[in-house]
């Protein structure tokens, strides 16, 4: 990567994928906790291949329509029109390699409909239980709007507590921006 590149530094979404890519093997079970427009769903589907399984969640039908269209005919991707807090209904504890969260609102849709801290924290607790040893979870937070700021603070506090419990945790994001910039949190389960 070159500082003259317009994509430098990398966006949190691209950075999350680059960090998680080496942790995902063909045949793994992975989760896109917030399917949105399907970019992470496609990434996960490409990583696990047809011998793997991707579980993708979203509460908005518009998100699922968009994500399904982007994924195409990848039969190993299963979509759920429900909260990410329900992940444990569809996967067993210790069976998941990676869980990705991209919080906030669905681009191009109602910006008043956002992920919420209480539901997200519940989903993160569930994700932590579902991850196998050596697995990881990523969370992209968007503190640039009021609901996102509260959620980002809560998620970062939750991740900090994970670090105290023996997880490896990191935070990546731009500094010196005019308004709070999106940032990435990553936690690895040892």
pLDDT of amino acid 106: 63
pLDDT of amino acid 115: 74
Residue 72 in any domain: the answer is yes
What does the pLDDT look like over 77-125, one tens digit per residue? 999 999 999 999 999 999 999 999 999 866 766 666 677 888 999 999 9
Structural domain range at position 136 = 12-188
* Residues 29/131, Cβ–Cβ less than 8 Å: no
* Neighbouring C-beta atoms of residue 151, cutoff 10 Å: 25
Return all residues near 183 (Cβ < 8 A) that are at least 6 apart: 12, 140, 141, 143, 152, 171, 172, 173, 174
* Token pair recorded at residue 103: 């919080």
What does the pLDDT look like over 26-39, one tens digit per residue? 999 999 999 999 99
Helix (H, G, I), strand (E, B) or coil at 2: coil
Strands of 96-102's sheet, edge to edge?
A: 77-80, 53-57, 29-32, 96-102, 131-141, 183-188, 168-173
Residue 5 in any domain: the answer is no
pLDDT of amino acid 112: 66
Residue 145 in any domain: the answer is yes
Residue 35 sits in a domain whose CATH number is 3.40.50.150
Residue 4 in any domain: the answer is no
The pTM for the full model equals: 0.93
Residue 7 in any domain: the answer is no
The DSSP element (H or E) to which 46 belongs, if any, is helix 39-48
Residue 2 in any domain: the answer is no
For residue 17, count CB atoms less than 10 angstroms from its CB and return exposed for 0-12, middle for 13-18, buried for 19 or more.
buried
Residue 169 in any domain: the answer is yes
What does the pLDDT look like over 47-57, one tens digit per residue? 999 999 999 99
Number of domains in the chain: 1
What does the pLDDT look like over 1-29, one tens digit per residue? 676 777 777 899 999 999 999 999 999 99
């Amino acid at each position: 990567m070159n500082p003259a590149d317009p994509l430098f530094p990398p966006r949190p979404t691209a950075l999350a994928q680059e960090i998680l890519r080496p942790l995902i093997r063909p045949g793994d079970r992975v989760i896109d906790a917030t399917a949105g427009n399907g970019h992470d769903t496609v990434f996960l589907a490409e990583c696990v291949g047809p011998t793997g399984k991707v579980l993708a969640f979203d509460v908005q039908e518009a998100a699922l329509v968009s994500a399904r269209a982007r994924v195409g005919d990848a039969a190993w991707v299963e979509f759920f029109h429900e909260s990410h807090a329900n992940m444990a209904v569809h996967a067993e504890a210790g069976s998941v390699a990676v869980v990705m969260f991209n919080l906030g609102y669905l681009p191009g849709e109602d910006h008043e409909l956002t992920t919420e801290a209480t539901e997200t924290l519940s989903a993160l607790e569930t994700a932590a239980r579902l991850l196998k040893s050596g697995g990881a979870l990523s969370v992209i937070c968007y503190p640039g709007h009021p609901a996102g700021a509260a959620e980002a603070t809560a998620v970062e506090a939750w991740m900090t507590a994970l670090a105290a419990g023996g997880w490896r945790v990191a935070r990546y994001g731009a500094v010196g921006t005019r308004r709070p910039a999106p940032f990435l949190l990553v936690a690895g389960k040892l």
